[in-house]
Amino acid sequence: MSLEERAVVAPSAQVMLVALLVTLARAEARDEEAGTPDAARRDVLLKRLAQLSLSEIHALAEKGTFKLVVSYEGAQLAWSLQAAAHRRSEQALLEYFMRHGAPRALLRELFTLSRARIEAVRRTLRLAPRQGRPKLPPSREREAVVAAWANFASSPDRRTRYHELHRAFPRYSIAALDAVLREGSAEAPGAGPSAGNRPPPTSVSAPPDRRKRALAPSRPSLVHRRVPR
């Protein structure tokens, strides 16, 4: 692990770091280092720093009588920053879906959340759960919704596709758009294959009424015999 070091030269920053060091020295126990000469020497120095006033620490920083260095591991810091940015993006997207009426089933499917987590976020956002079936767009606009969903197929993330779809049709809730997709799109979850503009396929088997007649037992034919006189 390669550490990168940066010297802190600004007096105000040095004062802040010294105060931080003193706070950590008071709050953290060093059980693993207890009894070692180095640990005892550091504790003595930190205790002496803790006894100084802020003006005295500021004077020491201005005179340059001590030097503070901050060390960090570059790759680990970059990964931590990226992970934090990803969490913020996920949270922002989740809140967008909730604010615009995404149903609970879709939230659990896209974000892998429990019901308790969904309700906790709703309480934080002060959102009341919506009751009943959402109002769907007219039939012509439903076709436009399905066509737009197909145009967003280049994005592999379905959450991004739903987000773009709602931005294209902001008048409707995400629940309404999801209901349209489930009814008319082959790519929506739970929908079967679409036949497009082709006519419905004809059934190979006989119609039900004809099948019933075929399966019904035939009546025996009656033969009338003439009795000889």
8 bridge partner residues: 68
Task: Give a yes or no: residue 134 inside a domain.
Answer: yes
Residues 61 and 8 in one domain: yes
Question: pTM higher than 0.75 for the full model?
Answer: no
Q: 88 and 180: one domain? A: yes
Let me know if residue 30 belongs to a domain: yes
| Domain span at 106 | 83-184
Residue 37 lies in a domain: yes
Report which of 25, 71, 69 is spatially closest to residue 45, judged by C-alpha positions: 25
Whether residues 110 and 152 fall in one domain: yes
Co-location of 149 and 87 in the same domain: yes
Domain assignment present for residue 208? The answer is no
Provide the residue-wise pLDDT of the chain in tens; the chain has 229 residues.
Answer: 566 777 777 777 777 777 777 676 666 545 445 556 666 676 777 777 777 777 777 777 677 666 667 777 888 888 998 999 999 999 999 999 999 999 999 999 999 999 999 999 999 999 987 777 888 999 889 999 999 999 998 888 899 999 999 999 999 999 999 999 998 754 445 443 333 333 344 343 444 444 444 455 555 555 455 555 5
Whether residues 167 and 98 share a domain: the answer is yes
Q: How many domains does the chain have?
A: 2
131 exposure class (CB count in 10 Å sphere: 0-12, 13-18, 19+): exposed
Domain boundary among 40, 66, 92: 66
- Which of these three, 38, 66, 94, is where a domain ends? 66
Considering the domain boundaries, does residue 228 fall inside one? no
Let me know whether 14 and 104 are in one domain. Answer: no
Residues 34 and 116 in one domain: no
**89 and 179 inside one domain:** yes
225 domain residue, yes or no: no
